Amino acid sequence: MVKVTYVAHDGTQTTVEAEDGDSVMHAAVSNDVDGIVGECGGSMMCATCHCYVDEAWQDRVGPRSDGEEDMLEGAACEVNDRSRLSCQIKLGADLDGLVVHLPEEQF
Amino acid sequence: MSRESVVIIGAGQGGLQAAISLRQNGFAGAITLIGDEPGLPYQRPPLSKAYLHDGNAEALRLRPDSFFTSKEVDYLPETRVEQIDRAAQEIVIAGASGKRRLGYDHLILATGTRNLRPPIAGVERSCDLRTLRDAEILRARLSQPQRIAVIGGGFIGLEFAAVARKLGHEVSVIEAAPRLMARAVSSWMSDHFAALHRDWGTALHLGEAAVAVQGDGVTLANGTTIPAEFVLLAAGVRPNTELAEAAGLEIENGVKVDACLLSSDPAISALGDCACFPDPRTGRPVRLESVQAATDHARLIAARIAKGESAAYSALPWFWSDQGDRKLQIAGYADPDATEEAVAEGIVARFDAQGLAAVETVNNARVHMKARRLLASGAPVALDDLGEIVAA
Ligand SMILES: Cc1cc2nc3c(=O)[nH]c(=O)nc-3n(C[C@H](O)[C@H](O)[C@H](O)COP(=O)(O)OP(=O)(O)OC[C@H]3O[C@@H](n4cnc5c(N)ncnc54)[C@H](O)[C@@H]3O)c2cc1C
């Protein structure tokens, strides 16, 4: 199991235990974490699973995947260099303890 | 007086979203979500894609069990709504514990569609792909090599065909129309995907109607038989409108709703696959079968009920289909009679009397997102504007 902490826009923190291989988006949705929608189910179609990777984790999470950059253009909130589509971040032992911050809205 | 209550019929993508959005908008009344399928609400798109490969049903779930307790949504699975009594504002439901009546202040119809069963002899021998149960059966069938015939060259049939080919089966697609996905995409895109599927080794029979399904294959109108041990029927769907119709609601290729997604009864809304609504761009009645329509409809209806907002529906349609390693993306919505203009390789613009209606792209998220922005802005778009986007 891998721990992920979601920090909502208002500062509320939720930590969940996710399966190895799960995406950060799916881990949030299946644990009922508000603030990540993931409307298209991880098909990179909707940009409603936008998150900001915590600075301390940025290097380990790695770069955006193919096409992700373009889809992020459709995100509802400001996109910065820590922005990712959380459906594209796959969890593994190397990301145990990952912290991501959530935007104010996804639409 | 008891708390205000909303009852949602159909616990698919749109019905569940309505429950989620009602709570997000601060609705404090009772919410009952009723669905005739077993288990937790799930998403259908992966059923013809990832699920056929990985069989991971858990990944399809839209919300965990805990959602229903924490958000106080009374979820009744394996329960069918049999009747709407508009005069009494009650519905009749039938589940494991028998029949009972349930009152509502507002009712949301989210009953979706069911597969069309065309009058083909022996059609009962073929399988459907609509529900998780259907997909489980298909997955089991795909475990051993065989010849597969797909009746219907639409999105679902083609997605399935691409997966089956990849798994090494011999696949034939039979389509009565002269081209693939004819109702939804340009002829350029149809031809493009026809070439891809042929490249992948699928036999396409275009402009050929299936007339009979036998134990050993499918017979076409021209008399030839396509040998197959297994047949998937993916020849389109029909909206589930019987309940609404029996209750006397206006029906027109779906439950007819106005720009606020209200049916002809102001206490009843309809959304998603079962609803026919005015296209925000043209005003023409349209019924869309997409995750986007189901969820955007749900959000608008929830905001109206929870906060009294009366905004007209204005969301821009978008759609995708994954076939093999190609992602077809459509921004906007074009009628079948819209004209087409190939902007560049893999980018097609569709125009109608009102101007640009839709942009179709293949494996091109950049142009897709730009097109979505452009179309959503509502400004008139010329072909040159698109050329600029593509060049940028
Ligand atoms: C295999 C497949 C692949 C797809 N791929 C894509 C895709 O790539 N992209 C995309 O945008 N869309 C896709 N779709 C379409 C998308 O899934 C639908 O548009 C969406 O599910 C519609 O949501 P809905 O809530 O309107 O209906 P549904 O999700 O179909 O839910 C309706 C529910 O209501 C239930 N119901 C009906 N009548 C009653 C009753 N009387 N009592 C109780 N329950 C009732 C039904 O059993 C069903 O569970 C796909 C669909 C399928 C089947």
Residue B159 sits in a domain whose CATH number is 3.50.50.60
Q: Is residue B319 part of a domain?
A: no
Are B15 and B108 members of one domain? yes
Q: Is residue B277 part of a domain?
A: yes
Q: Is residue B346 part of a domain?
A: yes
Q: Which residue of chain A comes nearest to B23, CA vs CA?
A: A34
Q: Which residue of chain A comes nearest to B315, CA vs CA?
A: A107
Closest CA to A75 of A94, A95, A50: A50
Query: Residue A52: what pLDDT?
Result: 97
Are B121 and B87 members of one domain? no
Who among A26, A40, A74 is closest to B369 (CB)?
Answer: A74
Mention every residue, 6+ apart, whose C-beta is less than 8 A from residue B87.
none
Are B329 and B259 members of one domain? no
3-class SS string, chain A? CEEEEEECCCCCEEEEEECCCCEHHHHHHHCCCCCCCCCCCCCCCCCCCEEEECHHHHHHHCCCCCCHHHHHCCCCCCCCCCEEEHHHCECCHHHCCEEEECCCCCC
Which tokens belong to B211?
């007339």
Picking from B196, B212, B233, the residue at the C-terminal end of a domain is B233
* B191-204 pLDDT per residue, tens: 999 999 999 999 99
Burial A86-106 (b: 16+ CB within 10 A, else e): bbbbebeeebeebbbbbbeeb
DSSP 8-state assignment for residue B38:
S
Q: Is B89 in the pocket of ligand 1 (CB under 6 A)?
A: no
B382 compared with B322, residue with greater pLDDT: B322
Query: Ligand 1 centre and the CA of A20: distance in Å?
Result: 30
Burial B186-195 (b: 16+ CB within 10 A, else e): bebbbebbbe
User: Quick check: B365 and A71 CB within 8 A?
Assistant: yes
Domain count, chain B: 3
Are B330 and B245 members of one domain? no
Backbone angles phi, psi at A78, to 5 degrees: -50, 135
Query: Ligand 1 centre and the CA of A2: distance in Å?
Result: 33
Burial B89-100 (b: 16+ CB within 10 A, else e): bbbebeeeeeee
Are B246 and B108 members of one domain? yes
Q: Is residue B77 part of a domain?
A: yes
Pairing of strands B318-323, B326-332: antiparallel
Contact A73, B369 (CB under 8 A): yes
* B200-225 pLDDT per residue, tens: 999 999 999 999 999 999 999 999 99
Q: Is B156 in the pocket of ligand 1 (CB under 6 A)?
A: yes
Query: Residue B97: what pLDDT?
Result: 87
Are B30 and B101 members of one domain? yes
Picking from B177, B209, B233, the residue at the C-terminal end of a domain is B233
pLDDT-derived band at B108 (thresholds 50, 70, 90) equals very high
CB contacts < 8 A, A to B, total 53
Query: Residue B381: what pLDDT?
Result: 82
Given its phi and psi angles, is residue B218 left (phi above 0), alpha (psi -120 to 50 degrees) or beta? beta
Q: Is B321 in the pocket of ligand 1 (CB under 6 A)?
A: yes
Segment B162-190 shows an average pLDDT of 97
User: Quick check: B372 and A44 CB within 8 A?
Assistant: no
Q: Is residue B223 part of a domain?
A: yes
Q: Is the confidence at residue B384, as pLDDT, over 90? A: no
User: Quick check: B320 and A107 CB within 8 A?
Assistant: no
Are B166 and B67 members of one domain? no
Backbone angles phi, psi at B57, to 5 degrees: -70, -30
Query: Residue B1: what pLDDT?
Result: 44
pLDDT-derived band at B274 (thresholds 50, 70, 90) equals very high
Q: Order of strands, edge to edge, in the sheet holding B326-332?
A: B318-323, B326-332, B355-362, B347-352, B339-344
CA-based max dimension of chain B: 68
Domain that holds residue B28: 5-114+237-307
Bridge partner list, B360:
B330, B348
Query: Ligand 1 centre and the CA of A83: distance in Å?
Result: 32
Segment B234-260 shows an average pLDDT of 97
Contact B250, B262 (CB under 8 A): no
Query: Residue B144: what pLDDT?
Result: 87
CA–CA separation, B228 vs B230, rounded Å?
Answer: 5
Closest CA to B339 of B286, B392, B289, B383: B383
Mention every residue, 6+ apart, whose C-beta is less than 8 A from residue A31.
A14, A16, A18, B64, B66
User: Quick check: A73 and B369 CB within 8 A?
Assistant: yes
Are B42 and B180 members of one domain? no
Query: Residue B2: what pLDDT?
Result: 58
Model pTM score: 0.96
Q: Is residue B37 part of a domain?
A: yes
Which atom of ligand 1 is found nearest the CA of B297? Answer: 26
What structural domains and CATH numbers belong to chain A?
Answer: 2-101 (3.10.20.30)
Q: For residue B198, give the H/E element and its range.
A: helix B187-199
Residues of A in contact with B70 (CB under 8 A): 32
Segment B92-106 shows an average pLDDT of 96
Are B211 and B181 members of one domain? yes
Are B60 and B194 members of one domain? no
- How close, in Å, is residue A41 to chain B by CA atoms? 8
Which tokens belong to B126?
């073929």
Contact A6, A26 (CB under 8 A): no
Mention every residue, 6+ apart, whose C-beta is less than 8 A from residue B362.
B189, B192, B326, B327, B328, B329, B346
Contact B177, B206 (CB under 8 A): yes
* A36-56 pLDDT per residue, tens: 999 999 999 999 999 999 999
* B331-382 pLDDT per residue, tens: 999 999 999 999 999 999 999 998 999 999 999 999 999 999 999 988 888 8
Q: For residue B326, give the H/E element and its range.
A: strand B326-332
- How close, in Å, is residue B31 to chain A by CA atoms? 18
Q: Is B80 in the pocket of ligand 1 (CB under 6 A)?
A: yes
Residues of B in contact with A107 (CB under 8 A): 299
Which atom of ligand 1 is found nearest the CA of B242? Answer: 41
Contact B151, B228 (CB under 8 A): no
Backbone angles phi, psi at B119, to 5 degrees: -75, 70
Bridge partner list, B33:
B8, B75
Q: Is residue B315 part of a domain?
A: no
Are B299 and B161 members of one domain? no
Q: Is the confidence at residue B136, as pLDDT, over 80? A: yes
- Atom 10, ligand 1: residue with shortest CA distance: B290
Are B226 and B122 members of one domain? yes
Q: Is B188 helix (H, G, I), strand (E, B) or coil?
A: helix
pLDDT-derived band at B145 (thresholds 50, 70, 90) equals confident
Q: Is B15 in the pocket of ligand 1 (CB under 6 A)?
A: yes
ipTM surpasses 0.95: no
Picking from B280, B307, B334, the residue at the C-terminal end of a domain is B307
Q: Is B188 in the pocket of ligand 1 (CB under 6 A)?
A: no
Q: Is B48 in the pocket of ligand 1 (CB under 6 A)?
A: yes
